[in-house]
Amino acid sequence: MRLNKFPFQAKVLTKSDDITYEKSFCTPATAIEVNEPHTEVMVMRIGEINKNNYAQFLQVLGVKNSKSVAAALDKINKLPDKDAFGNPIIRNALGEETQESQIARLTKEGIIEEGMFLREGQTMEKRIIGISDKVREKAIELARYNIVTNHNGTTPADVSKTDEFWKYIKGVRKNYKPADRQAFTWTVSQVMREESMRITDYIKKVDPSWRVGVSFDPKILTETNYGLNAIDMSV
């Protein structure tokens, strides 16, 4: 895109390491060409902009006041390059921390669990992988508890048992490779879902008038090992 005397009043925004502009007349590009009368065409590629050539970049955009350029650069250069824990902060040409830098720091600080962070537009990986019998049993136990307590398999008002379970799952998840952690979490959730569906189907079979969310006699489940020991009288 060729720009003639680009007005610096247009607000400069960032997206990853590329630079876009608030004004609609300029879209993301790999290069900006400025054609000034009686001078050669100047080209500055977006990916090549850094704190060392930022002053030239501002001048290309039309900033004439050298004091303004110096002040802007001084402000950027004074920004900290490490956080309170000593982790490095990587910034773009405008002095803003990059998303990858933020992720790296928060992962080291334990705020983000490696492999569990979802970037914008991403969804959890829906892949079934192997889990231990202990994890499976605990997932089924919670699903049954929720059915009996809340009559529909959702989390009851007292979330202490649910919180305890997911704290346990988080601890186990650390033993998996980061690339498998979302799949592990998805697998656990599907074990719980399948057990909830199995139990609700069994209750409806025993009491066809029952509807999800309506109270039922818990003995329907507790005296039949949650339907696993039930005798099918239709056979």
pLDDT in tens, 123-132: 888 999 999 9
How far apart are the two ends of the chain, measured CA to CA in Å?
Answer: 77
Structure token pair of residue 38 = 């009686």
DSSP 96: P
Alpha-helical runs (H) found in the chain: 54-61, 66-77, 99-108, 133-150, 160-173, 181-206, 219-222
Q: Which residues contact 57 (CB under 8 A, 6 or more apart)?
A: 44, 49, 93
In DSSP terms, 31 is beta-bridged to 45
- The DSSP element (H or E) to which 43 belongs, if any, is strand 42-45
Question: In degrees rounded to 5, what are phi and psi of residue 184?
Answer: -60, -50
Q: What is the pTM of this model?
A: 0.59
Q: Is 70 exceeded by the pLDDT of residue 173?
A: yes
pLDDT digits (tens, 9 = 90+) for 17-56: 333 333 323 333 333 333 333 333 445 455 555 666 666 6
